[in-house]
Amino acid sequence: MRSVLNATARLSLLFLVVCLSGAALAAPAASAAPSSQGGWQAHFDEQPGMPPMVVAVDKAQQQLYLLRHKSPLEVAEQYPCTTGQVVGDKLVEGDKKTPEGVYFVGRYIRSGLDFGMYGGIAYTLNYPNPMDVLRRKSGYGIWVHGRGHKIIPLETQGCVAMNNDDLIALGPKLVSGTPVVLAQTVVTSEPQTTEEKKIAAALVNMTREWAIAWGNRDAAMFEYYDAKAYTASNSGDFNDFMATKNRLFNSLPWILNWIDNVHVLQGPDYWVTWFKQYYRAPNLTVQGHRRLYWHKNGEGNLLIAGMEWERADLNLEEAFLQARRPDILKFIEDWRIAWESANLAKYADCFTRTAKQGNRVGMEAIRDHKVGLWKSARPQKVRFSDFSLSVGPDGLTVEMKQNYSSSDGFSDTGIKTLVLRPHGDTWRIEREDWRAL
């Protein structure tokens, strides 16, 4: 596939290079500001992509906060907690340290647990995440769990433990995918720098551009990755990943790839973006949660170093159609105006090169037909109404009522059906059908 988004992608990457090139941005501010006790200081503030809710654990204060993003960011709930017996970031299995970074709730466990140790309640976290693996950290089984007795400071093997009544109160908010930030200290009282907010905004935009490139079967998608880091983070062998995607890009006639609710948080020396994803192609329909872990490569560019995917039945197809409806209808309106005004160049540009229109195949054949037709009968009125959008075996389909008249007095009314293909951040017509009413 020829790149549709290369220019956009490179501009975004250049933007990040500029943002990150100053000495003040040699590293993200949260990781550049260790607490007085050492370790990572997690810094929260209003920023683009801020999730509606975050759990934050302050190891120094032995406190757990539920932060709610309601403009301004607020501490909605606060509980005492206890963490690892040894102070510091977890590095190896058995070091009795609680890791520092951005993690996500996985499973809720409520049976088969030792009551004294876990209080019969536990929520798993995704330690080690891809960035932990990249940094060769080891260990597993880091949970947020209860206790069969009143907690005391610094008493776990590395988990975060809470008094049972507190965890029962917090539990309904700990749904799968909830972000949990573990840090030596947590700061919510100091505003983020303008540069940090620019980075957050750029990462939200880059995540969307990455998704668009995927939907366009565009090799520009691979420019967003740090290939060596991706492989080393156990996200998969990058060369195999790229080869598989290229085979699909070349064999599939279409891909619909839509992401929703892009959130972003800063880790110790990385950032995470995560979102819901709807993917549809002729061979597969799948939905779920995806997380992208971004870090700076040797040239100072933020690239994807790791990735996580959790398949889930999210019923996103209707949300996808509703979200894309405005830009689909705008594209159709632009096409209608080009048709009604007999603007041949703009009209033809609305089709793919392989488009079909009745018995005509290819954009050039469609254009040549209009050249001949419009010499004797120019369009006078083209109107559409009663739009219906759906996704089927052929891809995204739009059905609508059409009223047409031309300068020679001809007129008709019928049902127009368009099959659309993604093109950059807009659409092109792959097939056009009509039937009379």
Active site residues: 145, 159
| Integer Cα distance of 377 and 27 in angstroms | 65
Please count the residues of the chain: 437
For residue 316 the two structure tokens come to 């996103």
- Per the DSSP assignment, residues forming a β-bridge with 102 are 181
For residue 137 the two structure tokens come to 């950290």
Which amino acid appears at position 385 of this protein?
S
Phi, psi of 266, rounded to the nearest 5 degrees: -95, 135
For residue 55 the two structure tokens come to 């759990």
| Integer Cα distance of 391 and 421 in angstroms | 11
**Count of CB atoms situated within 10 Å of the CB of 211:** 21
For residue 203 the two structure tokens come to 């990462």
Kindly list the distances between the CA atom of residue 177 and the CA atoms of 146, 204, 271, 322, in Å, as whole numbers in the listed order. Answer: 19, 18, 16, 24
Residue 156 burial (C-beta neighbours within 10 Å; 0-12, 13-18, 19+) = buried
| Integer Cα distance of 123 and 52 in angstroms | 20
| Integer Cα distance of 167 and 165 in angstroms | 6
